[in-house]
Amino acid sequence: MERLKKDKLPRHVAIIMDGNGRWAQKRLLNRVIGHEKGMDAVRRVVRNCREIGISYLTLYAFSNENWNRPSREVSALMILLERYLLKELPEMMENSVKLNAIGRIDLLPPSAQKTLQRCMKETENNNGMVLSLALSYGGRAEIIDGIHKIAGDIEKGRVKVEDITEELFSRYLYTDGMPDPDFLIRTSGEMRVSNFLLWQIAYAEIYVTDTLWPDFGEEDLINALIDFQKRERRFGLTGSQIANRR
């Protein structure tokens, strides 16, 4: 951790946690065991990000497309989610982690929704780090949901069409109130964004590691952050314009 520059940390880290299935298949185990190990990796990364001083951590835990997986795997993931929340709630309180959920949460099984709501309520005043779980999440669906909401406000006369800007529209997304992720990590080697935070990652630095999610540990996180700290973020400007700003 001493290898990290405290003044150059990303504010918001987003992670596509891929490779649970492959981790299990390599060991001739059931995919669900891979997800269980993946849950342990979630515990570690939340703890590590909090210790390092990351303000926002967003994890892609279940996509809209994941509903099409075999029903046994879907139910196992929902049970794991509840188990994770109930087990981690005391540590979230201790470390002042505020839990948030993004996605079409109303599609989750009622019991998972209840546990999620309870944990969000209990942690709502915590201010150490915001942990957002993307559940039943899709980036395009989020934009469409945002369009429906803004269209509703236009109909009610609360918003004028000519007032729509990027900034205003952002407030209609699930991530309202959060800074955009400045760092996106994907495990398991695939060079894809898989419909994750499509609007919000416009300027994010992307880091892909071959490590499978269940194997992702503190050292991998630190290596990723060191890589982030070496990058020059230009936001469409030239290198010398950026240097002159400093």
66, 95, 126, 223: which one is catalytic? 66
Residue of 39, 52, 102, 134 interacting with ligand FPP (CB under 6 A)? 39
Could you say whether residue 146 binds ligand FPP (CB under 6 A)?
no
Residue of 12, 15, 35, 209 interacting with ligand FPP (CB under 6 A)? 35
Q: Is 215 marked active-site?
A: no
Could you say whether residue 18 binds ligand FPP (CB under 6 A)?
yes
Residue of 9, 13, 15, 19 interacting with ligand FPP (CB under 6 A)? 19
Rg of the chain, C-alpha, whole Å: 19
Task: Give the 3-state secondary structure of residue 82.
Answer: helix
Q: Is 66 marked active-site?
A: yes
For the range 78-85, what are the long-range contacts, defined as Cβ-Cβ under 8 Å and sequence gap of 24 or more? 78/108, 78/109, 78/112, 80/35, 80/36, 80/39, 81/112, 81/115, 81/116, 81/133, 81/135, 82/111, 82/112, 82/115, 83/39, 84/39, 84/42, 84/43, 85/115, 85/116, 85/119
Could you say whether residue 22 binds ligand FPP (CB under 6 A)?
yes
205-208 vs 97-102, strand pairing mode: unpaired
Which of 2-10, 36-44, 161-169, 191-199 is the region at the interface with ligand FPP (rule: CB under 6 A)? 36-44
Could you say whether residue 123 binds ligand FPP (CB under 6 A)?
no
Contact (Cβ atoms closer than 8 angstroms) between residue 203 and residue 166: no
16 beta partners: 60, 186
Residue of 12, 14, 15, 38 interacting with ligand FPP (CB under 6 A)? 38
**Binders of ligand FPP among 62-81, rule CB under 6 A?**
62, 66, 80-81
Could you say whether residue 133 binds ligand FPP (CB under 6 A)?
yes
Helix (H) or strand (E) holding 101: strand 97-102
Which residues are catalytically annotated? 18, 66
Q: Which residues bind ligand FPP (CB under 6 A)?
A: 17-22, 35, 38-39, 42, 61-62, 66, 80-81, 84, 133, 213
